Structure 1
Amino acid sequence: MSTEAPFVPVSWTKHPSTPRPRAGVAPMTKEITRMLLNEELARARIQDLHDDVRPRSARTNARAARRWDRVARWASRRAGRYRA
């Protein structure tokens, strides 16, 4: 019997400088995927909130414009009294 190791082509062996996979690689990928899903869900919820607020903010802006219009008319009348 020969004590020599059998010939194995270099292309079949692992290169010694390639890093071996660590034990925590698969869970890390799952954690990243879960984190991305949570971020996407958070973005969707925020978008829904913005969609709900948009009509309300337009109504609030119109109300504020009417209020400032009233204040401007009042100020104009008051200034007219003091000019005359």
Structure 2
Amino acid sequence: MDVPADTLDEHALDPARATALRQDLAGALRQLSVDEQTALHLCYQQGLSHDEAASALVWPIGTVKTHLARGKEKLRTLLSAWNPQL
């Protein structure tokens, strides 16, 4: 996806703010259940599909989707100070 260069500057974080965001994200992730962390890691960091994550974890696909939804909602709440419109 191409993003206009002037838009990138507008949304870029200064290094101190980027570090603070990383720290807040790491802290928020630690507050999730192990199952939520695992589902988010496999699907968003490793790029697995919901089906692939379900197979890898030997969970029903609905369980993967539930842990993803719960984890994302918790992160949205925990990180709302970064973007109150979320």
Please give the range of the TM-score, normalised by the shorter of the 2 chains.
under 0.3
* TM-score using structure 1 length: 0.25
What TM-score comes out, normalization by structure 2 length?
0.25
Higher relative contact order (CA 8 A, sep 6+): 2
Greater C-alpha radius of gyration: 1
